[in-house]
Amino acid sequence: MADIKAGMPHIFTGTEELFVAQMLNLDLIDGINFQKGCYPGQEIVARMKYLGKLKKRLAYISYQPTTIENAHNIQSEQKNVGQLLYSSKEDMQQHSLAVINIEAIEKNALSIIDNEGQKLHVRIEQQFA
């Protein structure tokens, strides 16, 4: 739970190879250094830093407790706008880190459809960018 509140991303089965380093905020927490030598995916990550516009960022969210898996879709206006990284249940709430479209975060009208088809309102606890 402490890693979720701190914005510390973890990658598990189902979420590998879905995100570039900046989407996971690794550039903000010194998890990646653009001054160092080569690393896997360097071209894509560097291109995003110097040429691209980042469209998704990590956010800490909460919602009604439910059982859903990593990489589960987050929706806004019935469109998929993000994916869950991982979650933890505490104080009768589910707490998660998710990579979400920045525009959707700003609108703050997010939901998750659980495994039973129930629509759950998502509350943004903290945006780390």
Q: In whole numbers, what is the pLDDT of the chain averaged over residues? A: 88
Q: Evaluate whether 28 touches 128 at the Cβ level (below 8 Å).
A: yes
Least confident of 10-14, 45-49, 56-60, 115-119: 45-49
- Dist. CA 56–CA 84, nearest whole Å: 12
Q: Evaluate whether 72 touches 119 at the Cβ level (below 8 Å).
A: no
Q: Is the confidence at residue 49, as pLDDT, over 80?
A: no
CATH of domain 1-129: 2.40.30.160
> Taking the model in full, what pTM does it have?
0.85
List the chain domain ranges. 1-129
Can you tell me which residue has the tokens 């019935």? 78
